[in-house]
């Protein structure tokens, strides 16, 4: 369950073994049983760890999920760089949709966003620690296009990102309607059509 890392448990550092098995257990339990059935006690039992060890290092079960999410999902959502803006965005949105609806990390993300609706502190953390970085990655293809002269430098790129990823998140989080490639591709086409015309206007 916990691998072969040494069991430290002394003042020269916390137990990496305990940390890892807690994150794994939380992840597994969330996917298997859902957020509502996720309890600190359940995580402790599954991880083979004392409850107090969890409370020593994490203030709440959402903090565990936040860290588990960071570990699992950080790199998955970097858009490609092929030199073709439309292609990069299409690929990125397809990956995003698959991530949000089909991956374990996406399940963690949905649970965190859900819980953030009830907990302003979590909302802040989530935005500072994850969404800000993701926004940077989401902007990359557009920034490169601006540098290549394909997009008007005066465009508000954050607004464009909202128009691209917003509808995908909306379908996943609110309506539950799938966001297949046709949907995300059309989204890219629509947004780029507007953006591309902007310099001409």
Would you tell me which residues interact with DNA (CB under 7 A)?
6-15, 17-19, 37, 39-42, 48-53, 55-57, 60-61
Least separation in angstroms between CB 105 and DNA: 21
Residues numbered 93 to 132 that lie near a second copy (CB under 8 A) are 110-111, 113-119, 123, 127, 131
Least separation in angstroms between CB 48 and DNA: 6
The strand pairing partners of 13, in sequence order, are 10
For 96, what's the count of Cα atoms within 13 Å in the CB-facing half-sphere? 29
Nearer to a second copy (CB atom), residue 34 or residue 199: 34
The CB-based long-range contact list for 128-136 (8 Å cut-off, 24+ gap) reads 129/66, 129/70, 130/66, 130/69, 130/70, 133/74, 134/77, 135/161
Phi, psi of 44 (to 5 degrees): -60, -45
Question: DSSP letter at 83?
Answer: S
**Do 72 and 62 meet the contact criterion of CB atoms below 8 Å apart?**
no
Least separation in angstroms between CB 110 and DNA: 19
Residues numbered 148 to 187 that lie near a second copy (CB under 8 A) are 156, 158-159, 162-163, 165-171, 173-177, 183, 186-187
**Interface residues toward a second copy, by CB under 8 A:** 34-36, 110-111, 113-119, 123, 127, 131, 135, 156, 158-159, 162-163, 165-171, 173-177, 183, 186-187, 189-191, 193-194, 197
């Amino acid at each position: 369950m916990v691998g072969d890392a040494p069991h430290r448990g002394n003042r020269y550092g916390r137990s990496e073994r305990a940390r890892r098995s807690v994150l794994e257990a939380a992840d597994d339990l969330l996917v298997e049983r859902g957020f509502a059935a996720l309890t600190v006690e359940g995580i402790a039992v599954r991880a083979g760890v004392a409850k107090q060890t969890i409370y020593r290092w994490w203030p709440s079960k959402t903090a565990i999920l936040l860290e588990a999410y960071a570990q699992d999902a950080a790199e998955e959502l970097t858009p490609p760089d092929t030199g073709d803006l439309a292609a990069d965005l299409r690929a990125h949105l397809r990956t995003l949709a698959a991530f949000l609806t089909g991956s374990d990390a996406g399940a963690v993300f949905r649970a965190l966003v859900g819980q953030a609706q009830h907990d302003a502190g979590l909302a802040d953390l989530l935005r500072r620690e994850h969404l800000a970085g993701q926004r940077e990655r989401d902007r990359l293809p557009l920034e490169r296009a601006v540098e290549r002269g394909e997009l008007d430098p005066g465009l508000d790129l954050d607004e464009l990102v909202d128009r691209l990823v917003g509808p995908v998140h909306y379908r996943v989080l609110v309506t539950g309607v799938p966001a297949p490639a046709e949907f995300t591709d059309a989204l890219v086409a629509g947004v780029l059509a507007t953006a591309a015309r902007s310099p001409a206007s």
